[in-house]
Amino acid sequence: MEKHPLHLKNPALQTSPEVQRAVEREEQKTGEKVPNDPAERIEAYMDRLENIFLNPDERKRERNLEMFRDKIYDALIIKRENFPDSYFELQKRIARERGQAVEEIPENVREQMMDVAIEDQKASLDAWMDYLTSDDAVYPAWFKYFVWRNVTKLSQFDKERGEFKKRTDSTVAPYPDIYREPLAQIADIYEKIKADNKNLKEPEIREAFSKKFPNLYAELISKSLAASMENREEIRGEWVKYEQGRDGDAEKLFQSLEGKGTGWCTAGHSTAQTQIESGDFYVYYTNDASGEPAQPRLAIRMDGDNRIGEVRGILPHQGVEPVMQEALDGKLQEFGGEADAYRKKSEDMRMLTALEKKRENDESFTKDDLVLLYEINGTIEGFGYQKDPRINELRQGRNSEEDMLVIFECTREQIAHVPSQISENTKAYVGQLEPGIFQKLPENLEHVYTSFPEKKIRRENVEIGGKSAEQLISEMEAAGINISDYAKSMLKNREFVPGKSPEEATLIRLTVADLGFKSNATTDQIYERAQILGLELCPADTGPNYRLKYRNQPLNEWIYMGMKQITDSGGFPFVFGLERSDGGLWLHGYWARPGSEWYPDGRFVFRLRKSES
């Protein structure tokens, strides 16, 4: 039997404990022995992963994904020993073309190059995992798994040749980008093939279809990219509403998007039907050459009667084109308070566009411009699935040291970089965190970074204590905050003991990397390091109280509370987690064993330990 691609990437995988457990579960379920063949054993493991990652319970899906992410990396990310010499030769050639005289690449630089390539592969896999386990991917579970199995065999899409490069164990490139519209079209094509071949069993159809996937996906991507470039200069048009439950609207919506290159998964027949079932759907069509509104440029999907599920444009990653902001803003006015979060995104995009024009005209940036660009007071939010690339483009070439002086309205001497430079006149601290650092920083110091501008340490005061679990639940429900089942069980646990009297707690929010860890760290390691820096664990009721205060949380941000774990009925230790998704604000319960590992970009909140003096 042909070796499974995961076996090629990681020969030890087939003998690993997780694969062995999956094999045993398969044998118990079917009553049949799984052959002692690498491909068969890994196939059983992949089937197990399907059940884990495509669990219908969203909270369980997210928890499972975090638990297995490292194992997926281990199976699919290139190993250092497999980096080909040709990769480093290419880097030398690129350097020479830039005018740099490079004969040999030092070992430490080679290590850095490998680090970057590995992180790029992880990011591309993360994008696929997050998309396929999200509610935005409105496909059957088997299709999500089918797509995952196929895209993990491919490298990047070659737009000039219109094809995918194949992956090997020495492929350095990231995994393919996500093209949502072609995926939706593939789901439709599969349904048609199934209808035309009723004499074949579904596993046989899927196996045959898998062989066609790379070429079919490439062909549909090429068509989508070509169609998306037509008549983009026209912005006049009109909005059309497709109503939930109205006969024929799903079909009309699908036909209006077919072949138009929007990049939306709604351009698939089955996904259009699914999305119309969950709420009304609005599309803004700009005029074609004959003056007819025919080119879709904006979409607003409703989730239920009066809640916006998502807003999408046709830029890469479904961002909204700057020229379409006015049309979008006008429509958002119709949705009242429900559209507040989206109006904030629209204003962010409008201001970013203004900065872009300033740069084109060689105009100086004001303090307010720089505060926005460097995200001093909050994250710049857009409508796409990824951060707006203009942010980094605008920052490139700027002198951040000079910009800091304008933003913080200070001199160079008022920015401390090591604790010994801290004084009563310090306006900002930009440097590594050292033992006891938070007791040395002035209480009114707002600007603390481990590196500027991306690594800001957030500090804020929250009132805790004086409220029972029932009161906290009631207040969160009244505020429209979602509480997961795990969080509710924590709130009702006898180990959840709120403070008797109200008090003000100073909270410090930072990442695992800010604490000094360059790679993953365990819960115990993180807690120990926080204590050394002058922080302490948050009281049990800090999480729900912080959830009530932190209403402007950026979309898709996760924060974990540094707290003494609360055990569930099965003895598993949990901490509270705060998230904002398309479904709103959430209070979660998250598994946090002493040895559980957390990524360097994981965000934690601890309480500032009061100075003994």
- Model confidence pLDDT, tens digit, residues 184-224: 888 888 888 888 887 877 777 777 777 888 889 998 888 87
Query: What is the domain extent for residue 419?
Result: 399-455
Q: What's the pLDDT at 121?
A: 87
- Residue 205 covered by a domain: no
Which position has the higher pLDDT, 465 or 91? 465
- Residue 119 covered by a domain: yes
Residue 133 predicted with pLDDT over 90: no
- Residue 210 covered by a domain: no
Residue 231 predicted with pLDDT over 50: yes
Q: What's the pLDDT at 368?
A: 94
Cβ atoms of residues 18 and 71 within 8 Å: yes
Q: Quick one: 554 and 435 in the same domain?
A: no
Q: How far apart are CA 494 and CA 515, in angstroms?
A: 31
The stretch 479-484 carries a mean pLDDT of 91
Q: How far apart are CA 283 and CA 297, in angstroms?
A: 7
Tell me the angle at which helices 38-53 and 58-76 cross, rounded to the nearest 10 degrees. 150
pLDDT digits (tens, 9 = 90+) for 491-515: 999 999 999 999 999 999 999 999 9
Which position has the higher pLDDT, 380 or 240? 240
The stretch 442-450 carries a mean pLDDT of 85
Of the pLDDT bands very low, low, confident and very high (cuts 50, 70, 90), residue 476 is very high
Residue 59 predicted with pLDDT over 70: no
Q: What's the pLDDT at 261?
A: 73
Q: How far apart are CA 517 and CA 597, in angstroms?
A: 12
Q: Which structure tokens are listed for 366?
A: 């004001």
Most confident of 125-134, 153-162, 176-185, 447-456: 447-456
Most confident of 270-279, 439-448, 533-542: 533-542
Q: Quick one: 470 and 490 in the same domain?
A: yes
- Residue 394 covered by a domain: no
**Rounded mean pLDDT of the chain?**
83
Of the pLDDT bands very low, low, confident and very high (cuts 50, 70, 90), residue 101 is low
Q: What's the pLDDT at 49?
A: 58
- Residue 388 covered by a domain: no
Q: What's the pLDDT at 436?
A: 85
- Residue 47 covered by a domain: yes
Per DSSP, which regions of 452-540 are E strands? 455-456, 458-464, 482-483, 503-511, 521-522, 535-536
- Residue 12 covered by a domain: yes
Q: What's the pLDDT at 17?
A: 54
Which residues lie closer than 8 Å to 120 by C-beta, 6 or more apart? 174
Cβ atoms of residues 292 and 231 within 8 Å: no
- The CATH number covering residue 497 comes to 3.10.100
Tell me the angle at which helices 202-227 and 180-196 cross, rounded to the nearest 10 degrees. 140
Q: Quick one: 326 and 191 in the same domain?
A: no
Q: Where among 424, 455, 486 does a domain terminate?
A: 455
Q: What's the pLDDT at 160?
A: 73
Q: How far apart are CA 55 and CA 163, in angstroms?
A: 32
Cβ atoms of residues 42 and 4 within 8 Å: yes
Residue 596 predicted with pLDDT over 50: yes
- Burial of 535 by CB count in 10 Å (0-12 exposed, 13-18 middle, 19+ buried)? buried
- Residue 383 covered by a domain: no
The stretch 100-121 carries a mean pLDDT of 79
- DSSP string for residues in 373-391: HTTSSS----SSSS--THH
Which position has the higher pLDDT, 214 or 58? 214
pLDDT over 70, % of the chain: 85
Q: How far apart are CA 378 and CA 360, in angstroms?
A: 25
Q: Quick one: 447 and 462 in the same domain?
A: no
Q: What's the pLDDT at 61?
A: 66
Per DSSP, which regions of 234-377 are E strands? 237-242, 281-287, 293-302, 308-312
Q: Quick one: 423 and 465 in the same domain?
A: no
Q: Quick one: 295 and 440 in the same domain?
A: no
Q: Quick one: 449 and 466 in the same domain?
A: no
Q: What's the pLDDT at 299?
A: 93
Please enumerate, as own/partner, the contacts of 516-521 that have beta carbons within 8 Å and a separation of 24 or more: 516/432, 516/433, 517/600, 518/600, 519/600, 520/70, 520/597, 520/598, 520/599, 520/600, 521/597, 521/598, 521/600
Which position has the higher pLDDT, 227 or 266? 266
Residue 541: name the closest of 573, 510, 587 by CA: 587
Q: Quick one: 12 and 133 in the same domain?
A: yes
Q: Quick one: 588 and 466 in the same domain?
A: yes
Q: What's the pLDDT at 5?
A: 40
Q: Quick one: 19 and 98 in the same domain?
A: yes
Q: Quick one: 324 and 255 in the same domain?
A: yes
Which position has the higher pLDDT, 63 or 586? 586
Residue 54 predicted with pLDDT over 80: no
How many domains is the chain built from?
4
The stretch 412-417 carries a mean pLDDT of 92
Most confident of 115-119, 276-280, 480-484: 480-484
Q: Quick one: 264 and 178 in the same domain?
A: no
